[in-house]
Structure 1
């Protein structure tokens, strides 16, 4: 019994000294990475065990041969244990970092969803209230005969805008859910640009904005033509919406070793530096006012989803989209990869 007490005391004292040193080391590592803390924890654990065994073995008056064999066994076991534990600790640290990033992305996505629900609810409530008021007025017969045509036109315009907003929400939900399936192929970028410009030309004319497209060759990219056309259409509509009458919207493009690129420039006056990182956020409009535009406006106020959809579609293609301020406005640049050899 006394021998057991002596052995226990020696083991406790030696391992305790290592543990105290380890606590001081952890205090020194305060503020460092999770990997550093795990490495220190593993090193202290293995070292305390090895130290206790060596101290007790010395106290047992083992022969030099036995001590040598024990030392070799402890050295090999310690190296293997340390190596495995450090490797596992690093993987665990990386996994914890990935988990933290995943939680942060999930929280950001949830905040974005709540914001979209709140903003879209407001955007839907206003036109629905107008539709109800006009329908009730027509139903009660309080509208003069010569005003009914105008009421019907306004109802149709509001219904079209609600349908457009619902379509944007559906498209954005497919992108965020990863459910968007693209049929990729070799697409002449110039043809997509030409079609998008032709479709946006009547809207630009109605607002008094001049739309200019560079006829230079744009190259061939690997893309899905409908989705790429949607990207350019959204950028053009956004540029026309924020360009004042008599302003100019310019479309240029080209190709390089990485693929094709298109840049849409407007004369919106520029975007505040603080807002540039938020331009592609869902429901971001660059303004705090939520008052919708007049029904006669050919573009409307927009649901704040066009740029978010364009950003998502470009990323699905493996491309990049960026925005920069220019002298009199801003420029959106889209890059799409070249076809694989």
Structure 2
């Protein structure tokens, strides 16, 4: 016998009322138990579902739509199904608790390792995210340790390099003040030396300030469209006197029409640092070649010197703060900041810098994106 649509709507309405009441009570209980385990909350969900179903059946029975025999059968079936569903909820809750414990133990272990057992999809995703987070934390910790080591090395190097010129300045100043030296030639020589040492100290302080801006991420670039040839020409012209004084031959060769979007002052400083570094480590009568070209869709500047090469184990550390190598610990060699500054400036321009041993010396390569 078909039940009229109107009767079906009334049955749905009266069955929904007790189910909604039970659902509201269940939500309230879940809110109170929100800090408890997932297993407990799953039991509450299962019990609420069974109670809502039974309450709906009882309401229908009170409306005299089913007889006592059918009511007993339906209640028995629903009760059995409810017991099974609650049991499944308990088992599922225990599985979630077990998987959660495995994940917690993995997090507490050092180092963190992804649990080998198969986890529920949500916990498996959380495990992968935790693994990625631990990887990033480990990388950040390694960078922090490297920066701290560089900082300590920098302090040691700067202290060493400041002590010598300061001691010399003090000795010459005291000699002039006490009139220990009074002949015009020596006095003039002392004055020139004081000026040289003061300029050297000022250069070191300037390098420290520039490096601090790079490490702090406060280096501000005033980008404009410039020709790479102009930057290389200025770097060669600005260091030509230093090369001539040491007897080093300096050549520059750049293709015309290589536009880059860069800060002319900062990028020019990076290139000068590379050329000055090459001059300092190239012996007299050696040759330094600076080449600018386009290769593989990018602008490249190569500074090739005749320094005799760098030990392979030192190549990865060449651009570290204050690294100069054993052979570079000579007076007037600077604080070992030039290459670190050059790397920071190049990377701030979205470029890359590297070094390899080639021929009679080293080849430093700066890669920059071309302006389209």
Counterpart secondary structure, 1:192: helix
Asked if 1:233 corresponds to 2:265, the answer is no
Deviates more, 1:314-323 or 1:211-220: 211-220
Structure 2: how far apart are the matches of 1:290 and 1:133? 23
Alpha-carbon RMSD across the aligned residues, in angstroms, is: 2.7
Aligned to 1:112: 150
Check the 8 A contact 1:218/1:255 in 2, yes or no: no
Alignment match of 1:214 (pick from 242, 253, 268): 253
Give the conservation status (yes or no) of the 8 Å contact 2:254–2:293: no
Q: CA deviation at 1:212?
A: 0.7
Task: Map 1:154-303; keep pairs closer than 5 Å.
Answer: 154-217=193-256, 219-256=258-295, 258-287=297-326, 290-292=329-331, 300-303=332-335
Distance change in 2, residues 1:222/1:259 (3 Å): farther
Structure 2: state its 5+ residue gaps.
Answer: 1-37, 47-77, 100-118
Alignment-derived partner of residue 124 in structure 1: 162
Q: Give 2:349's aligned residue.
A: 317
Return the TM-score normalized by structure 2. 0.69
Selected match of 1:332 from 337, 341, 364: 364
Which deviates further from its counterpart, 250-259 or 133-142? Answer: 250-259
CA distance in 2, matches of 1:191, 1:266: 21
Secondary structure at 2:285's aligned position in 1? coil
What are the ranges of 5 or more consecutive residues in structure 1 without an aligned counterpart?
A: 1-44, 54-61, 293-299
Compared with structure 1, are the counterparts of its residues 185 and 256 closer, same or farther at alpha carbon in structure 2 (3 Å cutoff)? farther
Partner of 2:64: none
Pair 1:64–1:288, CA change in 2 (3 A)? farther
Confirm or deny: 8 A CA contact 1:221 1:259 kept in the other structure: no
Classify the secondary structure of the residue corresponding to 2:326.
Answer: coil
Give 1 or 2 for the bigger CA radius of gyration: 2
Contact 2:176 2:182 in 1 (8 A): no
Deviation (angstroms), 1:68: 5.4
The one of 133, 140, 143 equivalent to 1:95 is: 133
Q: Measure the CA separation in 1 of the matches of 2:143 and 2:317.
A: 16
Contact kept in structure 2, 1:186 and 1:223, CA below 8 Å? yes
Aligned length: 277
User: Cα–Cα, structure 1 residues 289 and 224, in superposed 2: closer, same or farther, change >3 Å?
Assistant: closer
Deviation at 1:101, TM superposition (A): 1.9
